[in-house]
Amino acid sequence: MSELQREVSELEKKSATAARLFDIRRIIGGLFTLYGVIVTIAGINPSDADLKKAEGVNINLWTGLGMLALGLFFLVWLWLRPLAPPAPEDDAAGPEGV
Protein backbone atom coordinates (compact mmCIF):
# COMPACT_ATOMS: atom_id res chain seq x y z
CA MET A 1 0.00 0.00 0.00
CA SER A 2 1.29 3.42 -0.84
CA GLU A 3 1.56 6.30 1.59
CA LEU A 4 -1.58 7.86 0.13
CA GLN A 5 -3.63 4.69 0.41
CA ARG A 6 -2.66 4.28 4.04
CA GLU A 7 -3.57 7.87 4.83
CA VAL A 8 -6.96 7.69 3.14
CA SER A 9 -7.85 4.34 4.73
CA GLU A 10 -6.95 5.83 8.10
CA LEU A 11 -9.24 8.82 7.49
CA GLU A 12 -12.03 6.60 6.26
CA LYS A 13 -12.02 4.79 9.59
CA LYS A 14 -12.31 8.04 11.53
CA SER A 15 -14.88 9.45 9.20
CA ALA A 16 -18.22 10.42 10.64
CA THR A 17 -19.78 9.88 7.21
CA ALA A 18 -22.74 11.91 6.16
CA ALA A 19 -24.85 9.01 4.99
CA ARG A 20 -25.05 7.53 8.47
CA LEU A 21 -26.00 10.73 10.21
CA PHE A 22 -28.80 12.18 8.17
CA ASP A 23 -30.82 11.06 5.28
CA ILE A 24 -31.47 13.08 2.14
CA ARG A 25 -34.72 11.17 1.56
CA ARG A 26 -36.32 12.94 4.50
CA ILE A 27 -35.43 16.33 3.05
CA ILE A 28 -36.57 15.59 -0.51
CA GLY A 29 -39.73 13.98 0.86
CA GLY A 30 -40.48 16.86 3.19
CA LEU A 31 -39.82 19.64 0.69
CA PHE A 32 -41.79 18.05 -2.13
CA THR A 33 -44.72 17.22 0.11
CA LEU A 34 -44.81 20.84 1.24
CA TYR A 35 -44.41 22.19 -2.31
CA GLY A 36 -47.00 19.70 -3.52
CA VAL A 37 -49.54 20.91 -0.97
CA ILE A 38 -48.86 24.60 -1.73
CA VAL A 39 -49.06 24.22 -5.50
CA THR A 40 -52.07 21.89 -5.36
CA ILE A 41 -53.94 24.43 -3.22
CA ALA A 42 -53.03 27.12 -5.76
CA GLY A 43 -54.60 24.85 -8.39
CA ILE A 44 -57.84 24.02 -6.57
CA ASN A 45 -59.62 27.13 -7.64
CA PRO A 46 -57.76 28.49 -10.68
CA SER A 47 -58.64 31.90 -12.04
CA ASP A 48 -59.78 32.12 -15.64
CA ALA A 49 -56.67 34.13 -16.48
CA ASP A 50 -54.41 31.37 -15.14
CA LEU A 51 -56.31 28.72 -17.06
CA LYS A 52 -56.19 30.71 -20.26
CA LYS A 53 -52.47 31.30 -19.89
CA ALA A 54 -51.78 27.60 -19.37
CA GLU A 55 -53.69 26.50 -22.50
CA GLY A 56 -56.73 25.47 -20.45
CA VAL A 57 -54.72 22.97 -18.40
CA ASN A 58 -54.98 23.30 -14.64
CA ILE A 59 -51.22 23.03 -14.50
CA ASN A 60 -50.90 23.99 -10.84
CA LEU A 61 -53.17 21.15 -9.78
CA TRP A 62 -51.39 18.54 -11.88
CA THR A 63 -47.87 19.71 -11.01
CA GLY A 64 -48.84 19.97 -7.36
CA LEU A 65 -50.22 16.44 -7.28
CA GLY A 66 -47.13 15.17 -9.08
CA MET A 67 -44.81 16.82 -6.57
CA LEU A 68 -46.91 15.55 -3.70
CA ALA A 69 -46.67 12.02 -5.06
CA LEU A 70 -42.88 12.28 -5.35
CA GLY A 71 -42.59 13.69 -1.85
CA LEU A 72 -44.73 10.89 -0.39
CA PHE A 73 -42.76 8.31 -2.36
CA PHE A 74 -39.55 9.40 -0.65
CA LEU A 75 -41.18 9.47 2.78
CA VAL A 76 -42.63 6.00 2.31
CA TRP A 77 -39.27 4.68 1.08
CA LEU A 78 -37.63 6.17 4.17
CA TRP A 79 -40.29 4.63 6.38
CA LEU A 80 -40.02 1.18 4.81
CA ARG A 81 -36.22 1.05 4.75
CA PRO A 82 -34.78 3.33 7.40
CA LEU A 83 -31.03 3.80 7.73
CA ALA A 84 -29.39 1.59 10.27
CA PRO A 85 -28.40 3.67 13.28
CA PRO A 86 -24.69 4.46 13.23
CA ALA A 87 -22.76 1.74 14.98
CA PRO A 88 -19.55 3.19 16.35
CA GLU A 89 -17.48 0.02 15.89
CA ASP A 90 -18.88 -0.84 12.51
CA ASP A 91 -16.95 0.33 9.44
CA ALA A 92 -19.00 -1.65 7.00
CA ALA A 93 -21.00 0.07 4.29
CA GLY A 94 -24.52 1.25 5.01
CA PRO A 95 -27.56 -0.93 4.43
CA GLU A 96 -28.73 -1.77 0.98
CA GLY A 97 -30.69 0.55 -1.25
CA VAL A 98 -30.04 3.73 0.67
Partner 1 sequence: MQSLAEGLRLPTNGLDYTILAIYFVVVLGIGFAARASVKTSLDFFLSGRSLPAWVTGLAFVAANLGATEILGMAATGAQYGVAVVHWYWIGAIPAMVFLGLVMMPFYYRSKVRSVPEFLLQRFDASAHLLSSALFAFAAILIAGVNLYALSIVVEALLGWPQWVAIVVAGLFVLAYITVGGLSSAIYNEVLQFFVILAALIPLVVLGLKRVGGWGALSDDLEAAHGHNYLTAWGGTGIGQGNPLGANWLTIILGLGFVLSFGYWTTNFAEVQRALSAKNLSAAQRTPLIAAFPKMFIVFLVMIPGLVAAALVPKIGTPGSDLTYNDAIPYLMQELLPNGVLGIAVTGLLAAFMAGMAANVSSFNTVFTYDIWSKYVKKGQPDAYYLRFGRVITAIGVLASIGTAFIASSFSNIMGYLQTLFSFFNVPMFVVFVIGMFWKRASMKSGVWGLLAGTTAAMVNYFWIYKQGVVSIPTDQGANFVSAIVGFAAGAIVMVVVTLFTAPKPEAELAGLVYGTVSPGLEEPPAEGDGAWYRRPALLGWGAVVLAALCYLPYSL
- Minimum distance, C-beta of residue 72 to partner 1, in the bound complex (Å): 13
DSSP string, 32-73: HHHHHHHHHHHHHS--HHHHHHTTT--HHHHHHHHHHHHHHH
Sign of torsion over alpha carbons 53, 58, 64, 66: negative
Residues 8 to 67: which contact partner 1 by CB under 8 A? 8-9, 11-12, 14-22, 24, 27-28, 31-32, 34-35, 38-39, 42-43, 46, 49-51, 53-55, 57, 59-60, 62-64, 66-67
- Taking CB under 8 A as the criterion, the residue among 80, 85, 87, 96 binding partner 1 is 96
Backbone angles phi, psi at 19, to 5 degrees: -60, -30
**Between 34 and 76, CB nearer to partner 1:** 34
**Between 5 and 80, CB nearer to partner 1:** 5
